[in-house]
Amino acid sequence: MFEYSNEKAIEYIFGFSHSGKPVKDLSRIKMLMSAIGDPQDRLKFVHIAGTNGKGSTARMFDGVFVRAGLKTGLFTSPFIIEYADRIQVNDRNIDSEALARLAGKVHEAVSEFPEDTGFSQFEITQAIAFLYFEEQGCDIVVLETGLGGLLDCTNIITTPLLTVITKVDLDHTAILGDTVELIAAQKAGIIKRGVPCILSAGNTDEVRKVVAEKAKEMGSRLVIPDVDALSVQNSGLDGTNFTYKGRNYHTSMAGIHQTDNALSVIEGCEILRDIFDLTDEDIREGIADAVLPGRTEILSRKPLVMVDGGHNPDGVRALAKVIAGKRPCHAVIGMCRDKNLREALSVLIPHVDSFVTVDGFSDRAENAAELAELINSLGGKAIPAQNGLLTEIENMKHQNEDGLTLICGSLYLVSAVHEIYKN
């Protein structure tokens, strides 16, 4: 077997492209998983797809299961602080020894395929994760899709106990389709025959229709939370307090949109309650415990500094609701060129007094000067960064001690911010 240090393992994994060769079916990931023994067939899953809210919803499910004493695997993307945070068991990242050893095992399997097979970095990561979850004896795995659903490599699983579709909106339109209905059809591709599905209450009628038709076709019980049974008491930077069906809950993540995610988790846990002996306290405390780096994350309170990775129009709309009225607000922003920049910026600009644009945090980052030009053309006030990312953030903090300093536009930018402050 190939033997790796942790550094060599990361180098091997990062040697694959993000998406690999384009796929038309799941045959490539099936070949890879078969070559390592199909560990996914011996695991149980909650499978989550959607445009926005996947990460937050996954963290809430994870919080509930861990609170209930279950050995819980969590697979998310992209990583925020370090690569290993994509693969966790009971809130602990995969350790360096296991990552190196399992990367070697996957490399051994990959070496048997033709060089032009075109595996993606995501597929390699998933293979390592499933091996690790089986090795750790996980009772349940919370599995977040990467892109879409129907053709996402996570959709190789056949043993989900529950599927969950969060908010669906326009994103990755070149791959998933240019209408919400087409994208919803891709997300609904994770629905399995006879397996219950939760659809977020925050979706449009168009999305509901597409998902309902797929659920009916698959004989899947579709549950949409009842917003008439929801009462929000208050919502702020410290989270939201709300009542649902007569029970009180609190989300620690800022933004009233987190109630939609929490309702999906509540309804999903009701379905799984008897399977895992979940209690009301497990559900309540698990939701309250859940936090996610890069989602309206407070880095500092005096001065107030927030970082958020929302990168599509719906994600930015959620951020805008959180920061509305918090003036003065100045932002360091970086975005990827393959996103709907114009619409997302149009949502954000009315809430931000000035922007400093940055690039260099991703190979897909929009040029800082061009991003600033776009913001100015849309009625905002922006200049490209004159210094490094850390210097620009620190300068803005010191010049804006009584206001909000916002760092936003991309999860890759969030990762870069965490990296520089970690060091």
Domain with 355 in it: what CATH number? 3.90.190.20
Bond into 78 cis (ω within 30): yes
- Count of C-beta atoms within a 10 Å radius of residue 228: 6
Q: Domain of 24: which CATH number?
A: 3.40.1190.10
Examine residue 91 and state whether it is found in any structural domain, yes or no: yes
Question: Tokens in use for 93?
Answer: 């990242």
Strands 239-244 and 230-236 come out as: antiparallel
Gap between the Cα atoms of 46 and 202, Å rounded? 20
- Residue 148's pLDDT is what? 82
| 125 & 235 share domain | yes
Q: Are 230 and 207 in contact (CB under 8 A)?
A: no
CA dihedral 123, 128, 132, 135 (to 10 degrees): 100
Torsion 20-22-26-27 (CA) sign: negative
Any bridge partners for residue 302, and if so which? none
Residue ranges of the chain with per-residue pLDDT less than 70: 1-2, 170-178, 422-423
Same domain flag for 232 and 306: no
Domain check: are 262 and 353 in the same one? no
Q: Is residue 231 part of a domain?
A: yes
183-213 burial code (b ≥16 CB/10 A, e <16):
bbbbbbbbbbeebbbbbbbbbeeebbebbbe
If asked whether residues 285 and 312 sit together in one domain, one would say no
Is residue 339 one of the residues assigned to a domain?
Answer: yes
Q: Which domain-ending residue is among 239, 259, 289?
A: 289
Judge if 146 and 219 occupy the same domain.
yes
Q: Please tell me whether residues 189 and 61 are part of one structural domain.
A: yes
Same domain assignment for residues 224 and 327: no
> Which domain, by its residues, includes 162?
6-289
Question: Which amino acid type is present at position 299?
Answer: L
Neighbour-count burial of 391, counting CB atoms closer than 10 A to its CB (0-12 exposed, 13-18 middle, 19+ buried) = exposed
**Same-domain pairing of 250 and 301:** no
Q: Indicate whether 1 belongs to any domain.
A: no
Is residue 352 situated within a structural domain?
Answer: yes
Among 289, 316, 334, give the residue marking a domain's end: 289
Say whether both 385 and 248 belong to one domain.
no
- CA 410, 413, 418, 420: dihedral to nearest 10 degrees? -170
Q: Tell me if 11 is assigned to some domain.
A: yes
Domain count, the chain: 2
Instruction: Tell me: do 55 and 198 sit in the same domain.
Output: yes
Whether 133 and 58 share a structural domain: yes
In a domain, 216, yes or no: yes
Residue 178: predicted pLDDT: 59
Q: Is 221 within 8 Å of 187 (Cβ atoms)?
A: no
Rounded alpha-carbon distances, angstroms, from residue 19 to 75, 120, 153, 233, 344: 17, 5, 10, 43, 24
What does the block give as tokens for 71? 């050995």
Domain end point (choices 289, 311, 329): 289
**How many Å apart are CA 196 and CA 70, to the nearest integer?**
21
Same domain for 221 and 305? no
Distance (Å, whole) CA 315 – CA 304? 21
Q: What is the pLDDT of residue 118?
A: 92
Asked, for residue 379, whether it belongs to a domain, the answer is: yes
**Predicted local distance difference test score (pLDDT) of residue 174:** 47
The DSSP bridge partners found for residue 355 are 331, 382
CA–CA distance, 205 with 181 (Å, rounded to integer)? 10
Q: What is the pLDDT of residue 422?
A: 67
Cis omega (within 30 of 0) for bond into 303: yes
